């Protein structure tokens, strides 16, 4: 958030109302992680026991959605909103989320904090990496957008995204901070994981229930979220119109916008507020005329976002 925008909004918000929203609640975060993993394991077990093509498709969708949900929790941990002890904050997040998704929080953090600092500029690595790419060129018709979304189900676009993703967040000499203290825990994680999969003979299930969702629905949900956050028909003429808040339905909150990620404008204004306090932050900001009149708020992903795409 720019200093002028922060100052303007803070002038009308009482400090005693805003300050409690920044307080992390580690058990709430941990419970959300545990629930996501429980849903993933339940989907895997149910489909393995009662295999049917329709059940497998549903499992891929659910597992990809919960992978995405874990990534949202990692995003909170990137801002140190999980544990006050930063070493444990990163280690637990890596083991439960980032190593399974083939990267690390340190590598992601360098990119993400620059995104916040240089939002939608040539120094924003997220903006630069997507700007000009066919999937992020707008205006786009509904059919063009849906064609891209459904192309993830063939794995083709997911494979392309995975290669792009892993290259972007790969350790390098230009990113020394991302490589510090990560090598041994990461190596140990993969040795234990792949040894256990081999010993138990679970490679088929790992491919079916982790690799396939990762290369399809996980990246599909990531794409939809990226468009909702910073692309489509946004004005980019003000801090409050350079990212979008999407008021999601219950269905969308499970599949598309887990853990209040739809409140993305609020997150950019106050990145120190953890995910479970974003709805309260939104209500607080809505009391301010400057926010209420200018903020870009879309009602729903399926209905609202599609209407804004036009065509």
In terms of Cβ atoms closer than 10 Å to its own Cβ (0-12, 13-18, 19+), residue 51 is exposed
pLDDT(38) > 90:
yes
For the segment 57-82, what is each residue's pLDDT rounded down to a tens digit? 999 999 999 999 999 999 999 999 99
Q: Is there a contact between 296 and 234 (Cβ–Cβ < 8 Å)? A: yes
> What sign for the dihedral angle of Cα 183, 189, 191, 194?
negative
Give the pLDDT mean for 159-184. 71
User: Residue 150 has what pLDDT?
Assistant: 94
Q: Which residue has the tokens 């993830």?
A: 152
Task: Using pLDDT thresholds of 50, 70 and 90, give the confidence band for residue 5.
Answer: low
**Separation between Cα atoms, residue 65 and residue 216, nearest integer Å:** 10
Give the pLDDT mean for 145-158. 93
First to last CA, the chain: 32
User: Residue 230 has what pLDDT?
Assistant: 84
Give the pTM: 0.90
Q: Which residue has the tokens 């801002």?
A: 79
Give the pLDDT mean for 136-164. 90
**Separation between Cα atoms, residue 184 and residue 182, nearest integer Å:** 6
- Give me the chain's average pLDDT, please: 88
Q: Is there a contact between 107 and 113 (Cβ–Cβ < 8 Å)? A: no
pLDDT(178) > 80:
no
**Tokens of residue 96, six digits:** 């439960």
Give the pLDDT mean for 281-293. 91
**Separation between Cα atoms, residue 226 and residue 232, nearest integer Å:** 10
């Amino acid at each position: 958030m720019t200093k002028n925008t922060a100052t303007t909004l803070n002038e009308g918000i009482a400090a005693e109302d805003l300050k409690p929203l920044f307080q992390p609640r580690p058990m709430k975060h941990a419970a959300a992680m545990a629930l996501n993993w429980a849903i993933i394991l339940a989907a895997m077990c149910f489909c393995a026991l009662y295999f049917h093509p329709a059940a497998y498709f549903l499992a891929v969708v659910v597992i990809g959605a919960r992978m995405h949900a874990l990534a949202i929790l990692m995003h909170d941990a990137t801002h140190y909103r999980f544990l006050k002890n930063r070493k444990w904050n990163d280690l637990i997040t890596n083991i439960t989320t980032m190593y399974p998704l083939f990267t690390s929080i340190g590598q992601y953090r360098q990119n993400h904090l620059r995104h916040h600092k240089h939002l939608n500029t040539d120094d924003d690595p997220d903006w630069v990496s997507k700007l000009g790419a066919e999937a992020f060129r707008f205006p786009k018709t509904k059919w063009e957008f849906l064609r891209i979304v459904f192309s993830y189900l063939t794995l083709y676009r997911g494979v392309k995204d995975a290669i792009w993703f892993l290259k972007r967040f790969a350790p390098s000499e230009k990113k020394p901070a991302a490589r510090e203290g990560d090598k041994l825990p990461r190596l140990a994680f993969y040795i234990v994981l792949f040894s256990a999969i081999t010993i138990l003979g679970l490679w088929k299930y790992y491919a079916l229930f982790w690799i396939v969702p990762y290369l399809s629905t996980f990246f599909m949900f990531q794409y939809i979220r990226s468009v909702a956050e910073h692309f489509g028909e946004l004005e980019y003429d003000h801090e409050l119109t350079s990212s979008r808040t999407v008021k999601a339905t219950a269905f969308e909150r499970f599949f598309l916008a887990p853990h209040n990620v739809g409140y993305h404008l609020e997150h950019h204004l106050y990145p120190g507020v953890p995910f479970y306090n974003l709805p309260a932050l939104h209500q607080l900001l809505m009391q301010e005329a400057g926010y209420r009149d200018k903020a870009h708020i879309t009602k729903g992903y399926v209905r609202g976002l599609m209407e804004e795409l036009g065509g």
